[in-house]
A and B are shown apart, each in its own frame.
Chain A
Amino acid sequence: AQKVTQAQTEISVVEKEDVTLDCVYETRDTTYYLFWYKQPPSGELVFLIRRNSFDEQNEISGRYSWNFQKSTSSFNFTITASQVVDSAVYFCALSEGRKLTFGKGITLSVRP
């Protein structure tokens, strides 16, 4: 069965600090997709990134970057120079066919 582990439950940083959110996954599929979603206090799920299992290139989008390492089954997310607006719950998810398996989420608090 698929599994996504987000071992960190809550992280608190001061604005402008860098922060890394960890995600470790388990799957027997050879082709799979990994995602990160952001859930702000308003409750909706905001798509951040998708990565397929054949593409291990790291990706950077503004202050966000993702590090995918198949050898360690990890897909970590770094926010550089964090801002108060980054405060949210962040979920890592793994696809199984068209079904997504989510991790338990990491609550990030960014203090001014």
Chain B
Amino acid sequence: EPEVTQTPSHQVTQMGQEVILRCVPISNHLYFYWYRQILGQKVEFLVSFYNNEISEKSEIFDDQFSVERPDGSNFTLKIRSTKLEDSAMYFCASSDSRTVRTYGYTFGSGTRLTVV
């Protein structure tokens, strides 16, 4: 079964450093997403991406965040200057126009980001 792959599974970074979280969506999917889950809390939408541009973003997704699809396979989330409160699990997901109605998304297994 096709999977969304996220790397690394766990990343530790120092406050103020830039970090890039990487995702390989399912190859024939067209829509890509990032969600965040602070430890012990609910999963929150950050951003959706389609046709090489952001289609929707939440108020959490401020100027320190950016997303990019640098090639035909990767989808990245960059956090420019990390803060302690950015420590969370970050989930990538992908869907096509059909599966979002049938199965929802396919989520990756997440990257746990720890800012120290």
Contact = CB atoms under 8 A, between A and B. Distances in A.
Interface of A: 33, 35, 37, 42-45, 47, 50, 52, 91, 93, 95, 97-105
Given A33-B104, A45-B91, A97-B56, A104 B48 contact: no
B42 A102 contact: yes
Interface stretch (B16-24, B71-79, B105-113): B105-113
Contacts of A47: 103-107
Given A52-B101, A95-B104, A43 B43 contact: no
10 contacts: A45-B43, A47-B103, A47-B105, A47-B106, A50-B104, A93-B104, A99-B45, A100-B35, A100-B105, A104-B41
A50 B44 contact: no
Contacts of B33: 98-99
**Residues of B in contact with A, size category:** 20 to 34
A12 to B, nearest CB: 17
Given A33-B101, A43-B89, A52-B101, A102 B44 contact: yes
Contacts of B106: 47
B56 A99 contact: yes
A43 B109 contact: yes
A64 B103 CA distance: 17
From DSSP, what is the main secondary structure of chain B's interface residues?
strand
Contact of A100 (B31, B41, B45, B102): B45
A98 B42 contact: no
B103 A50 contact: yes
Contacts of B82: none
A23 to B, nearest CB: 12
A17 B24 CA distance: 40
Given A102-B42, A102-B44, A43 B104 contact: no
A5 B91 CA distance: 21
Contacts of B109: 42-44
Interface in B24-80: 31, 33, 35, 41-45, 48, 55-56
